[in-house]
Each structure stands twice: as C-alpha cells, then as structure tokens.
Chain A
C-alpha cells in the first residue's frame, strides 16, 4: 500500500474548453492594435511614448499593489496591460508623463484593486481613471488645444467640440468616409473607426466580448441621434457623425463591454447597452461635455447590478 502511485484527484468535470483569462485579455489587446498602430502613424513618437508609458505604468501599479497587499502576482493575466492600453487610446498624444501615470494609478488602484482586484470592480477602471483626470485637468483633454501643433492635411478641429459650439453647419466638412478612415483629431486609439470596428468584430467572433452590449450601444446612439436630428436638423447631427466621432466606437467595443461592470443576461445586456448609448447622445447634445461616452458608460455601470436582476426563472424554481 505504501509504494502506490499517487494520482491527481479532483472534482468533475475533467474537461475544460481551454479558455483562460489571459487569452481573453491578450485577445482584446490584439484587437485594439490596429487602432493603436494607426494612432502611432498619425501622431508619431509622442503617441508611442504615451502608450508605452501607460501600459508599463499600469502593470507597475498592479505589481506594486500585489506586493503591498501580499496577494499573488496577477500581472500575467493581461488585465493591467489591457487597462493601460485602453487608457492610452483615449488620451491625446501630447499628454504629459505625469498625467499618464496618475491616470493609470487611478484606473488600476482606485478603479480595480481596492475592490478586490479583477472581477470585483463595479466601474470600468479605464473610465474611472479618465473621468477623474477629465474633471481634475480639463485643459489637457481639450483636443483643439492640445493637438494645435499637428497639421496632418485635414481639419484638426475636434469634431464633437465643433458640433457643440457651432452646430451642424460647422461639421459639414467632416465626411463619414474620412472619419471612418481616421481623418479627425481625437484620442490616440479612438480616431480610426475602421480599425476599431474590425477589432470589435474580431472580439465578437472570438467570444471575448458580449456582442449584445456592443450592438445595443450602437443602436442606442443611432436611435437617439436620429430622434434629435429629426426634431432639429440644424442643431443636432445625424447618427453617422455620432457613431464615427469621439469615443463612440471604442466605447461600444472595448469600454462598455468590460466584463466585471456589465450585465450577463440577455435582456439586461440590451438595456445596459442601449441606455449607455442613449446617454452618450444626450450628454453630447444637451449636456455640458463635448463627448458623453465616458460618463454615459459609468452611469450605465452604476445601474448594472440592478438591471442584471432581470433574469430568467431557473428550472424548478418555486416561489
């Protein structure tokens, strides 16, 4: 009995479909790359610097918190790197180093780690970081101001700011095809609509994000934009403009779909996505900010636990 072989003993099931947390997040990083690379070509070395600093500092903050809280190192799962990358994609290429590092601190530590780490955060960490920076240093997020030195051969006016201040007349120069191909000013990784759409489709096909959220978010933006546009075409832009400018596409495919802060049931996903989309256009059209995606998704995150209570009845449930 004593020289018996020792076997692995564990609980059923003994098969797994092979998915893993790190594969999921590395796939999201991969899907974001086309838009990021386009940002590099458009804005040059400053953009490369911001993205590198953001990713590395996000990972460093995560590692530091792991050390301090004496928890196992979780930087290998790719979540911190993903937060850093998505955060950099929203920033202007000219962001100073301290802004980036502060932002990733807020995103990783305050947005995620203090809630117990991955899976515990009630809000999207990237958006928590960005929202706090926007409120604290408003001027660094005024794209018209910070990108003033760039001349790329097309109008460098921030489309949403033009719409906000001068109405539909001012945005007649922005053609949807040009916007789709990234001929606009904005965040490093948020301007290249085509790349974001391709990345999003890749993620939906691979099952890394929940398509219901992306589709309902875009539907929410479009429908609300159409309604405003019908009510007053001189004041409010149409759906194509709203979808192709600002953070709408990166929001639909990369931000609203963040795992922990979004619902998992079918109807709640539709409600969550649609309400975030609707709020986006409401903030843009009648709110105080030029772009509403950040706050719209944060507010939708807030109601996520509530809407996710709408769930199908379990088999054999007796009430």
Chain B
C-alpha cells in the first residue's frame, strides 16, 4: 500500500506500473476441474414463459454457445468441455444479477465447430453471435448499436491498464502486436469505423505503432487512463457531466479484447485464456494466464497464498476494483487482476464525519468540491448533490477516498447516489 510520505507538501503521486522491457511470459494455469460462467440477467426458471435450455447434466463443449432461455440474446460461450453441474442465481455489485452456470470439466477437451465454420469471412453478425465472451470483453455497443444515441465513430483501444499494479493490457500490446493488428483490421471491416486510436503509455509507443491504429500517449500518473481523462487529454473532448463516452460516439475497449478478436479469426477458434495480474498479500504482482471460469481458489492454491477468514479478495485493481465474497468466484472476461489483502493490513473505512481538511480538493482530477458533496451524500440529498455539487462529473477514480483523513467511503457514497438517482428516474419514466 502506498502511504502518505512524511513530507506531505508534495502530494504522493500514484503511478501506473510500467511493464518491463522484455516481459516474462505469464504463468499458465491448467484447465480447472470446475468452472463457472456468469451469464448476465436474472436466473428465474419458474417465472419464465420461455423454456429453460440449460439443466443439470447437459454436456457442453469448449466454444459452445450457452443461452439460458429460448430466443434469448444473452449468452456465454463455454470455455471448457464437461457437464453442467448446477445453474443458480448469483448477485453482484449494486444488485446486478447473473445466472451462474457451473460445469464439471471432463478430461478430454472437445471443440465446438460453430465458430470455425464462420471464420473465413468476418462479419459483424459473427462477432455479435460468437465473440461477446472473449478475454478482454468486447463492449456490446459496437455490435448492437443503440439506435437512439449518437452513432459510434471512434474506437479507442486502451493499451494502458485501468488501475495500479496491473500490466495485463501492456503485456498484450508488447507480445501480441500481430493479433492486435489483425483485430484492428477486423474491427475496421466489420464496423465500418475508420477512426481507431490506440491509447498507449510512452514506453510502449513503438509496439502500439505496429497495430495500425493511430497512437496517442497517455500520461503515467493515476488516474489518467480512465476513459473520461483519455477523452480529455488524448482526444481533446470533454465529456459533459452525466454523459458517457459512448454518447459522444467514442467507445473504449481493451487491447486484450482486440487481440482476442484478431486471434479468433487467425486461429479459427475462440480464445479462452484470460491474462491478468495476481497481486499477492505483499503487494507483488505476477502475470497469469487462466481459462475464463477458473475459480479464484485455484489461482490462490497455485501461488501458495493462504486465504484466511476476513481477508479481502478483489477483482480489479486497488483503486477501482470490486471485492468479492466467495472463493469460487470465477475469472471473467474483464478480470484484469485478482488481488488479495490480508485481514491485518486492511484499510477500513470509518463512520467519522468530514472534518473539512481539504485533502480531497487538490487530488480530484475533475475539480469537484468533495468536502461539500460528501456532506450532502451522507444525509441522502442526492438530487441536491447532483444539481449543486457536480455529482455527475465524478469519474470514480477513488482518489478522494484514498486521501480522506476521516477515512470516509466517499466513492461508495458517490456510486450509491448515482445508483439511487438512476433508480428514481427509471421509476419516474415507467410511471409517465
């Protein structure tokens, strides 16, 4: 953990980790014994009119598309071969619900042929129907554009990592430049979008240049690789408060997603090895490559990490990740890091009020009056917070909580406020 320095006149600078000149290959994890796939959407087999397609005991092949209900668009692609051992409901952050499909893995792997039949001619339809689950997670907006909003005219490929200590994306840029190049070509071909930009740290300029996309440099200080700041610094566009980058016609995707896209068509099979950093209790970080769906307990076992009661397991980095509650949580297509903190070293939040020390003001990259905002959020005045104190300008970098002297969970308050306001406006729209 990066502590405040004794001399606090110069604020501690959080920098992204730069990858080594010749990065070591990631440690390859074996295919797990059990895998779990998380499918977006509520699992509710009895409240459905449509018939349920998956049940316990069904055989699945690697690369097979699995949909839960008949005629449903949502699907996952099985990353392993075996039999379904259970389908259950699973809830994530802020009430997000998933159907968890558990698979007992068979010894011999069989590859589903559906995708390899389509591989000769890349089309948007193929990408949409087969590749939504590839490592790196393709943003769905590129293949099912929302008719009401601005059409997407720019794709930004992030060759930078979203959070501290992570090198997964940079590793892809260095090691998979051919696949990225192919991926960029395919993206141009299937989406018809010409303006493809690669956001890369300065030390990877050469590698990023090989991709065929236009390269823009991203500064190495946190939080400059968050989409809103890449928009501002590299593209010269400021996203209005409350709007998303997609609203301006810009979509972000990770370099890994582009590489996976290229690899799928190069090799004629869908890739399932997800690359991510394992950040151990001592803060050291190692790159790992594992099947999507591998439970994190397998990864901790492979690294001899003791997992104790009250430890904290985090998917994603230390600033923007999500803590999870189960050792069986699977690696997902967008998992860039798995981090574990010992219960003795946890930085816990407190219920202390804001003392108005002003630490959060200079660190906020969007110049929000955090000290005032948090006073309103604490008492639930969400609408006023949005109207008067720029709630929607927040890009959720977490620096205010990081420096908070009172250790308030400021980012949590902000996210909760956005979630609640969103819920209210959804209800209001439904009632009109």
Contacts and interface: CB of A to CB of B under 8 A. Distances in A.
Interface in B71-120: none
Given A116-B353, A259-B356, A15 B318 contact: yes
B53 interface: no
A138 interface: no
Nearest to A8: B312
Interface string B346-376: 1111001111111101000111110100000
Contact of B390 (A13, A211, A264, A314): A314
Contacts of B239: 316
Given A19-B405, A20-B405, A116-B353, A9 B312 contact: yes
Interface in A70-100: 77
Contacts of A264: 356-358, 361, 369, 371
Give the interface SS of chain A, mostly helix, strand, loop or mixed. Answer: loop
A6 B309 contact: yes
A205 B320 contact: no
Contact of A9 (B319, B325, B368, B399): B325
Contacts of A153: none
A119 B354 contact: yes
B49 interface: no
Interface string B387-429: 0001011010011011111110101100100000000000000
B321 A315 contact: no
Contacts of B243: 316
B355 A259 contact: yes
A18 B1 contact: yes
A137 interface: no
B323 A206 contact: no
Given A20-B407, A260-B356, A316-B243, A205 B8 contact: yes
Interface in A104-122: 116-120
Contact of B241 (A259, A260, A316): A316
B33 interface: no
Give the interface SS of chain B, mostly helix, strand, loop or mixed. Answer: loop
Given A5-B309, A10-B348, A311 B369 contact: yes
Contact of B238 (A10, A16, A265, A316): A316
Given A5-B309, A11-B411, A314-B367, A206 B8 contact: yes
A6 B310 contact: yes
A314 B359 contact: no
B21 interface: no
B347 A15 contact: yes
A264 B399 CA distance: 17
A17 B240 CA distance: 30
B353 A119 contact: yes
A21 interface: yes
B25 to A, nearest CB: 28
A210 B405 contact: no
A21 B395 CA distance: 26
Contacts of A7: 309-313, 323-327
A182 to B, nearest CB: 27
Contacts of A77: 352
A206 B357 CA distance: 13
B395 A118 contact: no
B4 interface: yes
A10 B4 CA distance: 22
Contacts of B2: 15, 17
Best-surrounded residue of A12, A120, A207, A313 (most CB of chain B within 10 A): A12
Nearest to B389: A314
A14 interface: yes
Interface string A269-301: 000000000000000000000000000000000
Contacts, number: 184
B319 A13 contact: yes
B303 interface: no
A120 B308 CA distance: 40
A310 to B, nearest CB: 11
A124 to B, nearest CB: 12
B346 A8 contact: yes
Nearest to A121: B356
A168 B392 CA distance: 58
A15 B1 contact: yes
Contacts of A69: none
B46 interface: no
Contacts of A120: 353
A149 interface: no
Contact of A16 (B241, B371, B402): B402
B9 interface: yes
Contacts of A21: 352, 355, 405-406
B390 to A, nearest CB: 4
Contacts of B323: 7-12, 14
A201 to B, nearest CB: 10
B371 A314 contact: no
B1 A16 contact: yes
A235 interface: no
Contacts of B228: 315-316
A63 B295 CA distance: 50
Contact of B355 (A6, A15, A119): A119
Contacts of A15: 1-2, 318-319, 347, 402
Given A206-B6, A315-B393, A16 B324 contact: no
Interface in A1-54: 4-21, 24
B273 to A, nearest CB: 26
Interface of B: 1-4, 6-9, 12, 228, 232, 238-243, 307-314, 316, 318-327, 339, 341, 343, 346-349, 352-359, 361, 365-369, 371, 390, 392-393, 395, 398-399, 401-407, 409, 411-412, 415
13 contacts: A7-B312, A8-B346, A9-B325, A14-B321, A15-B318, A16-B401, A16-B404, A19-B359, A119-B354, A259-B357, A264-B361, A315-B365, A316-B392
Given A7-B311, A8-B346, A9-B323, 9 more contacts: A6-B310, A7-B313, A14-B339, A17-B2, A18-B1, A21-B352, A21-B406, A264-B356, A314-B241
Q: Give 7 nearest A-B pairs by CB, closest first.
A: A207-B8, A264-B358, A16-B347, A13-B398, A315-B366, A11-B412, A314-B390
